[in-house]
């Protein structure tokens, strides 16, 4: 069955289409591609859903190697909201 591996960095992405046996798991696909979950890549997902090396694959799945977050999303949202101009109604 055919699956896709994807990893991305700022301003660059890499993907590879693979043929793996039926019943293969994420770890098998990584082995076929010669990719490892190491360095800046700290987690896995299949179509955006958390996965492990033992997650079973289905034909057409996209396996994503995920990097660590650079900052807490809630903190980033608070900073953006704090710097936005107030949205009050103007009377005139």
Domain regions of the chain by residue span: 2-81
Q: How far apart are CA 74 and CA 40, in angstroms?
A: 22
Averaged pLDDT, 1-22 = 95
The pLDDT value given to residue 92: 54
- The pLDDT of residue 61 is above 60: yes
pLDDT digits (tens, 9 = 90+) for 26-40: 999 999 999 988 888
Which of 12-21, 31-40, 56-65 bottoms out in mean pLDDT, i.e. has the lowest? 31-40
CATH number attached to the domain at 2-81: 3.10.20.30
Averaged pLDDT, 7-17 = 93
Longest Cα separation, the chain = 70
**Three-state DSSP state, 11:** coil
Q: How far does the chain reach from its first CA to its final CA, in angstroms? A: 66
**Three-state DSSP state, 79:** helix
Q: Using alpha carbons, list the distances in angstroms from residue 8 to 21, 47, 82, 88, 90.
A: 25, 14, 30, 40, 44
């Amino acid at each position: 069955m055919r699956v896709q591996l994807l990893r991305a960095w700022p301003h660059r992405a890499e993907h590879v289409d693979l043929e793996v046996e039926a019943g293969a798991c994420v770890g098998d696909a990584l082995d076929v591609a010669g990719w490892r979950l190491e360095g800046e890549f700290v987690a896995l997902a299949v179509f955006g859903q958390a996965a492990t090396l033992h997650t079973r694959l289905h034909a057409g799945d996209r396996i994503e190697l995920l990097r660590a977050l650079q900052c807490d999303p809630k903190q980033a949202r608070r900073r953006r909201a704090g710097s936005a101009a107030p949205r009050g109604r103007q009377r005139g």
